[in-house]
Amino acid sequence: MKVAKTANEAFAEAMRQINPDVVAAYPITPATEIVQIFSQFVADGLVKTEFIAVESEHSAMSACIGASASGARTMTGTSSQGLALMWEMLYIASALRLPIIMAVVNRALSAPINIHCDHSDTLGARDSGWIQIYSENVQETYDNVIQAVRIAEHPDVRLPVMVTTDGFILSHCLETMDMLTDEEVKEFVGEPPERENLLKSAREDKPITIGALDLQDYYFEHKRQQAEAMKNALKVIPEIGKEFGEKFGRSYGFFENYRLDDAEVGIVVMGSTAGTGKEVVDEMRKKGKKVGLLKLRIFRPFPFNQISQALSHLKVVGVMDRADGVNSYCGPLFPEICTSLYDLPERPKVVDFIYGLGGRDIKKSDIEGIFNDLLKIAETGKKEFNLKYIGVRE
């Protein structure tokens, strides 16, 4: 069914169709609409969900952890400082192997106070043990949430998943999308697989421990299990994306390769900027420039082998970071791409471009300028810079 929705509305509609047992949330711009709309679904009796209105985002994730540890299918939503306030609990949720789904609207972290998009919030949480899925448009936002449930609950994974969309650029802008029927979503996500939980252990008189003290004797082994679960997700994610495509005509993998196979240079980008980048690729191709684009959808687990294969033939790779690592060297995505290419016998040159902080527009002319920089490096064989800021008044 063709509908016009914002990404926030798409998040809320997907949550309604998933019909989780518990949603605990605290409002924050620009993600407020997600739980606001969903709370109306609860009030209207359209879902069976227990909606918990809490006093902070830290409390929201704490309540989600308690609900999920008790066996409930659990979801929430947040953004920026809200995600940062959850920081302590993010690590607990993943370490306890709880399949919580979180809708995140990407927004810059303060200070200064800013309510517009960059990726500093979720990239700051990149090593918290959550699977991270990035969306280019409203359609992907909707599709990614539905797939996230299956990924998180898979017996070989059982990790929390955050699905992201760019603040205001997608969260508040209408786009046409194909919406599945309630029955199609219900059938695809299915019933949650059986797993150990507090209520089950109480009913069956088989006590389990959640959140125990874990010192030198077993902590390392438990963290190793958590890491193995993230590794297992590398197999599960494309399987579920393929199944989704077979059922609904839209397949998903770790990334999208756009006119990259015969390119000489390419950019790596996440989120809504990929759409603008594709237009620039098409325009430059008409001028005979061999450029391409890799749109990274899955940032955690990081698909380093697949990325290495996709980029290995290029002369130069430009990484577009919508966050600054504030490390005097690069943004967060850049070292991940460099590491994935490091062991190649002949590897591309890699340069970093930081752009779009605090919602600063990225124009087609900006991206064309990036491609021209890459083409110059490819022609001369020399890098005149490792990092360039795009669109900032120096």
148 and 33 assigned to the same domain:
yes
Look at residue 120 and tell me whether its pLDDT is greater than 90. yes
Look at residue 126 and tell me whether its pLDDT is greater than 90. yes
313 and 198 assigned to the same domain:
no
Q: Taking a C-beta distance cutoff of 8 angstroms, is the pair 209, 201 a contact?
A: no
**Which two three-digit tokens encode residue 280?**
């620039």
CB burial class (10 A; 0-12, 13-18, 19+) of residue 342?
A: exposed
Query: Residue 241's pLDDT is what?
Result: 98
CATH number at residue 298: 3.40.50.920
Q: Taking a C-beta distance cutoff of 8 angstroms, is the pair 65, 98 a contact?
A: yes
116 and 244 assigned to the same domain:
yes
Grade residue 285 by pLDDT with cuts at 50, 70 and 90: very high
Which is it for strands 387-390 and 349-355: parallel, antiparallel or unpaired? parallel
Q: How many CA atoms lie within 13 A of 123 on its CB side?
A: 24
First CA to last CA across the chain, in angstroms? 47
Query: Residue 186's pLDDT is what?
Result: 98
| Cα–Cα distance measured from residue 70 to residue 44, given in angstroms and rounded to the nearest whole number | 26
Look at residue 394 and tell me whether its pLDDT is greater than 90. no
| Cα–Cα distance measured from residue 149 to residue 313, given in angstroms and rounded to the nearest whole number | 35
The three-class DSSP label of residue 298 is: strand
- Rounded to the nearest integer, the mean pLDDT of the chain is 97
Of 209, 232, 248, the residue that ends a domain is 248
Contacts within 8 Å (CB) and 24+ apart, 241-244: 241/147, 244/143, 244/146, 244/147, 244/188
Mean per-residue pLDDT, 84-104 = 98
275 and 380 assigned to the same domain:
yes
Q: Taking a C-beta distance cutoff of 8 angstroms, is the pair 316, 349 a contact?
A: yes
| Cα–Cα distance measured from residue 344 to residue 296, given in angstroms and rounded to the nearest whole number | 20
100 and 217 assigned to the same domain:
yes
203 and 279 assigned to the same domain:
no
Domain that holds residue 333: 255-390
pLDDT single digits (tens) 215-231: 999 999 999 999 999 99
Grade residue 154 by pLDDT with cuts at 50, 70 and 90: very high
Give the residue among 42, 312, 8, 290 at the shortest CA–CA distance from 167: 8
Instruction: Count other Cβ atoms within 10 Å, centred on residue 356.
Output: 27
- β-partners of residue 257 are 294
Query: Residue 374's pLDDT is what?
Result: 98
Who contacts 55 (Cβ-Cβ below 8 Å, separation ≥6)?
A: 26
Of 248, 267, 295, the residue that ends a domain is 248
Give the residue among 169, 153, 363, 166 at the shortest CA–CA distance from 276: 363
Please state the domain count of the chain: 2
328 and 384 assigned to the same domain:
yes
Of 233, 248, 263, the residue that ends a domain is 248
208 and 94 assigned to the same domain:
yes
72 and 197 assigned to the same domain:
yes
| Cα–Cα distance measured from residue 8 to residue 345, given in angstroms and rounded to the nearest whole number | 45
| Cα–Cα distance measured from residue 382 to residue 184, given in angstroms and rounded to the nearest whole number | 53
235 and 343 assigned to the same domain:
no
CATH number at residue 84: 3.40.50.970
122 and 260 assigned to the same domain:
no
pLDDT single digits (tens) 42-70: 999 999 999 999 999 999 999 999 999 99
Query: What is the separation of C-alpha 28 from the centre of its chain, rounded to a whole number of angstroms?
Result: 18
* DSSP output for 316-381: EEEEEESS---SSS--SHHHHHHHHHTTSSS--EEEEEEE-GGG----HHHHHHHHHHHHHHHHH-
Task: Identify each DSSP E strand in the chain by its residue range.
Answer: 2-5, 22-25, 50-53, 74-78, 101-106, 131-134, 161-166, 175-178, 255-258, 265-269, 291-296, 298-300, 316-321, 349-355, 387-390
Mean per-residue pLDDT, 6-23 = 98
353 and 283 assigned to the same domain:
yes
Look at residue 16 and tell me whether its pLDDT is greater than 90. yes
Place of tokens 């077979």: 246
